Structure 1
Amino acid sequence: MDHLLLEHLKGALAKSNVIAYVWDIGGDELHWLGDMESFAGHSGEQIRQNSNQFNLLLNPHDTPQRISDVQNYIDTARGKLDAGESVDEFSSKFKIRSGSGINIDVTETASLKHDDASGRLLLCGRLEKSVSQAAPEVVMPKEEANIARMAAGGGGHIHSGRRVMLSKLSDWQDQARRDSAHRTGYLLTVGIDRMAMFNEVVGASKADEILERTGERLEQIAGRAAEVIRVDGDVFGVLFAEGAHNEMAAVGQYILNNFSNMPLMIERGPVGISVSVGGIALSVRSSKDPASYLAMAERALQLAKDKGGNSFESYDESNSLMGESRLLLKSAETFMDAMKDNRLKLAFQPIMSGINQEVSFHESLIRLEDEKGRVLPAAEFIPAIERMGLSRLVDQFALQEAIQELMMFPELCLSVNVSNLTLANQDWLRSLVYALRDRPSVAKRLIIEITESAVVHDIKKTMRIISTLQDLGCQVALDDFGAGYTAFSQLKNLNIDIVKIDKSFVRNIADDHNHLFVKTLRTLAEGVNVKTVGEGAETLAEAQILIDDGIDYIQGYVYGFPRTERVWLPENHMHRKIMSSTAQSTLRDSGLTSSDMFGDHDVFRTKMN
């Protein structure tokens, strides 16, 4: 009789698009009732074991919110049960990855119960599938449909390596010149968004599997129409040897939609990812070499990632290439003239405490004053300076000026950015050691900001540099955390003092996904005893969310723009305005020589004399 009743209940649930569960919270055991095979395409063995197994089936974007909602409900309901009060039901909506990889909209309803017989707390709930649930459909333009039809024969071995791609591009140019002067094609670069996060969450072996499946998916999409090559890390090149330039954007968008709507299937189950795509048109009439083509495609990919990911960008030569060389030379010339004329300045932006909303320290930022007295932001000249190999001069100037300010104002704390080029230079580090070894009171108020890319380039060397800086008394901050390739596990090994959460997560933090991501980053940083800075807060609402989430420091226009004056002094203070001077003249005016601070290792002094 019990068996027949159980089968009857299962059948009734299946017809209603519902499955039920009982979760033993203390023992973390899940028991299911209903036809899970027809509900989501998963066998009972796959999802009945415990909450962690079940969470693996959720859409990754929904998992943190669902876990948080359930835990908050349990905490509240437990208190009511203990007080003998009635307990309301809990409700949540999220997506489950089906066995076929499709997202299923699910509504969960549950209530907390106390089992008097066992003394255990049980969460008794049900999942109801949307009746109108259907597989997402990717609408393909004509060009994309052509690509999809050609995909039937794909699936070969994926070559890897930058040299392989350069060789393929060279072969394309040679063949195109022999065949036709009008032959066209295009190169796409495809990168997995936030791959470092996947590497941390699922582990290195599973991350490798994600990369393999991504390559296979790209081969399936491209088929015989293109060749897929893993260029570097999580970046794939897709070379369309024959293709109209006007179809490139459509194919790029199709790739985005394909990954967004259909998760990758790895050994542990479905994994949802998004990708970014960059593109460059190939033409036999162009004089560009293979390396230039690949660099342009990668630059377009970076532009797509800078937009937040899941985006396509093509390299626009009319806006980028034609004027690029002239712009570089002009920017470099402007920069050198500014140094000679004492028009290079430091600007200071306050960074506030999340606890009391008072200034904790200031970031020192480079600004350039043009001949008309207009202050130029860094974005107008720093990228060109870096590409021209002049960033060491900038960093040396900023460091000298910052140290001088710290010596003049004993309560001041400043952070200074250091480029990868400078960080790799032993002269810079020796200069800093010489300047600070007898000034511990200055060193302890200096924060050196390094970039994620410096860590990736040579993590062991970076660790040694960080250790040296901290031995001096300095703190070290990792800038733009979350935007690049630093894994969470590396934070502890690096022994970083501060991580600055990239502004792309802070902007529009009211969006649930961005908000959850910031909270996750903060929790992980706290776990390795690292302080957090939320960069780019532009509104009071954004700042308040960061404060509520426990972010240690907040930086952004909401608290102040970078200004080329001593913003820590009162407005009418006689020394608030910084006179136009280089670090050299400032040192001379104070009675100190450059050698007093930097000895024979003064790279800046050598360059300026």
Structure 2
Amino acid sequence: MTSVPPQASSILACLGQAAFVWDIASDAIRWTDHLASIFPDIPSASLATGSEFSKMIEPRRSIRTDALTGSSAADRGAGVAYRIEYGVRAITSAAVLWIEESGCWFAGADGRPAQVQGIVRIDNERHAREEQLVKLSRHDPLTGELNRTHLVASLAEAIEEAMRFRSSFAFMLIGIDHLARINDAFGFDVADQVISVVAKRIRVRLRGGDVLGRFSGNKFGLVLKNCTVDDMNVAAERFLAGIRDDIVPTKSGPVSVTASIGAVSVPRYARSAEEAVNRAQETLDTAKRRRAGSFLAWRPNVERDAQRRVNIRVTDEIVTALNERRIVMAFEPVVDARTRDPAFHECLVRMQQDDGQFLLAPDIVPVAEKLGLIRLVDHRVLELVVSELAAAPAVQLSLNISPATTMDPDWWASIESLMRAHPGVAERLIVEITETVAIQDIDDVRGFVTRLKNFGSRIAIDDFGAGYTSFRNLRRLGVDIVKIDGAFVQNIAQSADDRSFVQTLIDLARRLGIKTVAEWVQDEEAAAMLRDWGCDYIQGRLIGLASSHRPWHLQDAAAVLPAAG
């Protein structure tokens, strides 16, 4: 290699580059000037030969010779180009210099590489960017721990290893309690501070080899290697205490935080990553329901497994019944407490089975709600009720909807479409929502009530008295009817407490101009009491249970529910 002019050598140095010629036979390397500015901490002797230079290369010392000898191309006189990347450092305590080397090798008489001419370029910044991108693809940006994808991948690897070596470990999900409240009270930035601190508190309590990752917004997943059931209990308490014992300092002030843990022993009770995650999530949910800040480990449960089999069967039956139009209505009469004239009918969902028998609402609705099918059921019920109202212009019907449906935009689209298609139906429709829905978010429910009343429909609160809704909230919601929970009504003839409670509810509702319906009326004695207290309507065994027959077909004239006063 002819010497590079000083000016060109200076330019290369400014660019963080150096040119070289490597004679393969003698192993000598000749470099351009200003080499010290490119490799400031590397002795010149380590740069003088290919063998000495290779001793500093990471991660694979033979990368330069492999690039030459591994090429399938032949030198036709113009050389064979190559390009490689590697790191170099003279001692292990020094920082790695990342190098991009490109050049050509030229063959000798035997056709094998005899000389190399090339340029090396320092490329620390690009390598740092690539490392950062790799880290971001694997790690959660807020906490720096593994993200969900790589956490689950680590869990799967641990399961495979445990099954191969007949060992065991624990998989835990740690959920920060009431993080939504912190979001609402202080803002998301403070909640992020809490998440970061909790991650650090978990991290410092891990052993070497344990794996930590952020599973979701408020949850962390842990893979605790070689962890028995007894070890799992000890570890869980250590994590819980580490999180709860010290307040979390934030820019908005100190915040007290607790967490709950659900865990599963693997592979004893979970033989796949999906199974481990599901069972840890299940136990975490149960732990939170029992008491915030608690720990629960998954255990086999015969009753739970049997119920799941039932759920699976009922789910399949519900979907099939929906597809085959076997979801039908039963109609339970609600009558005037004084005259016993029909006022309206409550529509109750039934599902006809293959054998002709019917599943009742208590068998259908809880499973449908739990498994996310209730919105489909509610859509079908709405269609059936509107169809009945359209076919019988003098009839008034009520239908129950689930909590999820109150916020379902598709349900709203359906009811708006049906109301436009069937004028006059909305005024004869009563929509019942449970009291528990009414007290969850007054503002949201108020919007729901307002939209329905704009159609001309009435709103009833079902099971009133079970959820402790205040009458002030009833007035804010603008409901038309309250249906007093039958649990308080059925024993009013024997229970002074129930009599007092029901009588008070009726009196307060009357003062607010809200109609009352007493559910589960069993006998004439109870009906007489309710009439004398001023209850507007009654329903229950005394009046008649739900039937698939349409009673209004047998009536000469249907009574109309009086307007709310």
TM-score computed with the length of structure 2 as normaliser: 0.48
TM-score computed with the length of structure 1 as normaliser: 0.45
